[in-house]
Structure 1
Amino acid sequence: MLVLAPLNPLRTVRRAADTALDLFAHQITICAKSLTDRDARLAEAVLDQMRDSEPKLTQLTQVVTAADEVVRFSPLRWRRRRIVRAYRQGVKHMERAFRNSRTLVRRAGTALRDAESVPPDLPAALEHYAAAVRLLHREFLAGQEPLQARERVLQAVRHAGEACRQDIGFSGTIVVSQLRTVANELLRATGVRHDEARRLVRRAAAGY
């Protein structure tokens, strides 16, 4: 534990989160670009990168767990408990979002290889998704309730819903479905309860 989270557990968490979450957001941004540019090879390259980067999310989980032990048992670190607790409660949902995102990226590549129609709202949805991951990290570090991250998640779902109401192919609909699953996990990461997260995603998908 002392190796993973030594004298400054928050600094250790920030370093691991900077690496894992910024890379995660960047990969989703590049997937959005592949859809805009209709570049199937770029989507495939992103998928390869995501397979290689999964250990960074695992390491983040380990670091957060160790940091949580430090701030709970060291009076000198108690003022950091709120921030570390937010990561501890959110990181399992972020890991699930990451794993579901690999299916999303894989299907984005399939849609492009099959020359499916890609409405502009679909890459826009992914751009909002990537922004939500960045905002979640930023708001956690600031000790703030992640309201901006929640709104960006719902913006992503709204754009994906619009894409579904346009000319979209089979793989495109799976991209939308996976994005809704990911959105539910990201909302849970922000502290939204399970039933409420599902309700918010359904309303956003319907355009409300």
Structure 2
Amino acid sequence: MAKERLNTLDRLRTVDKSLASRMGRVRKRTWAITQQAVAAGASYWVAQEVFGHKFPFFAPIAAIIILGMTGGDRLRRAVEMSLGCIVGVGLGDLLVPLLGSGPWQIAVAVACALVFGSFISKSPLVNNQIAIGSILIATIMPPGGITPAGTGGPDRMIDAVIGSTVGILVIAILPDNPLNAGRQEISKVMAIASSVLDDVAEALRSRDARSLANALQAVRDTQGDINSMLDSAKVGREASTLSPLLWGSRRRVRSLERILGPVDNAVRNVRVLARRSRVLTEDGDTVSDEQIEIISELSGILLSFSELYERGAEVSEAVEIPNIVNQLRRLGARANMSLVKGRVLSAHVVLAQTRSIIVDLLEICGMSRPSSLAVLAPTSRTPAYPPEVWDD
């Protein structure tokens, strides 16, 4: 009965976590949905009321496409999309009256549009919009066909520009917090890395190669999360550049961007450490208890980072970062060659990756790379950076 109750509780916890995750996704999407809804309505209104277009459906479509783009650079992409739409519609209006409308005519029109687009820009967005514009003209709105008044070629081109412009203005007037998404993605990546290091430490203690295989798979799956982290940072930089309301947050955005490289490097080093630990365990070799303890402490530090970035409070950072730096300094002094004396190559690799992770985490804390390297106990008689700790 006790075991059944435990299983029931585990299932309930799983359901609670799933619901919490879904609610979190809904909350994250709420502002993006608001931006797209406002941009669609505003662009349609501007095209219809200000420019007198009766059916300006290109305007809200363009606005939603711009706001739906990820990875930043939406201003550049808005220009590219407008250019592609203008050229595509213009080519469609030129070619369709000559060729007519039908399957082979569409094929020819799209081929001509893409060839022409390749001379204008190498951007896939420009080329796609040129092809789409030609298809729309050849099918839905052929010149000379029965189409609603006010949907002629020039009007369609103008609508594309209106939608792109309104989309950019909405980003400037109704900006999202440029730090939230980036911090959440960083928190997620660090939590995964922490979990993997914890699994590695436990597997090294128990010499369980199967657990290491699972940990390695988990860290291999983080590349998508890393890409999301980098995209979120680009979107944050773009928002803080476009919106006057966010100009005061530029310094914090730059600080967040600064740590992206070290975070990426830390995850990559965790990946290599997990892979080498698996090889070591499968070979039946071991590492010292001190090495395992250092890995376990690094797992705890990564978890602290994850919680810190999830909260997003600068006051907490000012208090906790110095404590983390001091802890990493102590680990750097302990991670010396005596830990692998008389051990196999894999143990040396595990030590090397551990030291690399310490350096990455110190860089996340704000230290320069030379200063971070100087924290480590020396492994060379002529180190490039004089160490803080030197044993004669």
TM bucket, shorter chain: 0.7 to 0.9
- Give 1:194's aligned amino acid: R
TM-score, normalising length: structure 1: 0.84
- Taking the aligned partners of 2:249 and 2:307, their CA distance within structure 1 comes to 15
Q: What is the CA distance between 1:135 and its match in structure 2?
A: 2.9
Q: Kindly tell me: are residues 26 and 206 of structure 1, through their superposed partners in 2, closer, same or farther at Cα, counting changes over 3 Å?
A: farther
1:88-107 alignment runs, 5 A limit: 88-107=257-276
More deviation, 164-173/87-96 = 164-173
Report whether the alignment pairs 1:148 with 2:317. no
- Taking the aligned partners of 2:200 and 2:390, their CA distance within structure 1 comes to 24
1:126-182 deviation digits (Å, cap 9, x = unpaired): 122122223334445322242233233334334433762555332011100111122
More deviation, 77-86/27-36 = 77-86
Report whether the alignment pairs 1:68 with 2:237. yes
Q: RMSD over aligned Cα, in angstroms? A: 2.7
Identity %: 20
- Give 2:238's aligned amino acid: E
1:53-108 deviation digits (Å, cap 9, x = unpaired): 22101210110121122234434334544443332100111101211221111111
- Give 1:20's aligned amino acid: V
1:154–1:204 contact (8 Å) kept in structure 2: no
- Taking the aligned partners of 2:273 and 2:338, their CA distance within structure 1 comes to 15
- Taking the aligned partners of 1:185 and 1:23, their CA distance within structure 2 comes to 16
1:188–1:197 contact (8 Å) kept in structure 2: yes
1:157–1:205 contact (8 Å) kept in structure 2: no
Structure 2 gaps of 5+ residues are 1-65, 73-174, 378-386
| Alignment correspondent of 2:118 | none
Report whether the alignment pairs 1:198 with 2:373. yes
1:1-208 alignment runs, 5 A limit: 3=68, 7-139=176-308, 141-143=312-314, 144-145=317-318, 146-161=321-336, 164=339, 168-202=343-377, 203=387
TM-score, normalising length: structure 2: 0.47
Report the 3-state secondary structure (helix = DSSP H, G, I; strand = E; otherwise coil) of the residue aligned with 1:116.
Answer: coil
More deviation, 139-148/123-132 = 139-148
More deviation, 166-175/51-60 = 166-175
Report the 3-state secondary structure (helix = DSSP H, G, I; strand = E; otherwise coil) of the residue aligned with 1:201.
Answer: coil
Report the 3-state secondary structure (helix = DSSP H, G, I; strand = E; otherwise coil) of the residue aligned with 1:117.
Answer: coil
- Taking the aligned partners of 1:86 and 1:136, their CA distance within structure 2 comes to 15
Structure 1 gaps of 5+ residues are none
- Give 1:142's aligned amino acid: A
Report the 3-state secondary structure (helix = DSSP H, G, I; strand = E; otherwise coil) of the residue aligned with 1:21.
Answer: helix
- Taking the aligned partners of 1:204 and 1:120, their CA distance within structure 2 comes to 24
- Taking the aligned partners of 2:279 and 2:389, their CA distance within structure 1 comes to 23
Max radius of gyration: which structure? 2
- Taking the aligned partners of 1:79 and 1:138, their CA distance within structure 2 comes to 25
Q: What is the CA distance between 1:196 and its match in structure 2?
A: 1.1
Q: What is the CA distance between 1:201 and its match in structure 2?
A: 2.0
- Taking the aligned partners of 2:279 and 2:187, their CA distance within structure 1 comes to 30
Q: Kindly tell me: are residues 125 and 163 of structure 1, through their superposed partners in 2, closer, same or farther at Cα, counting changes over 3 Å?
A: farther
More deviation, 120-129/153-162 = 153-162
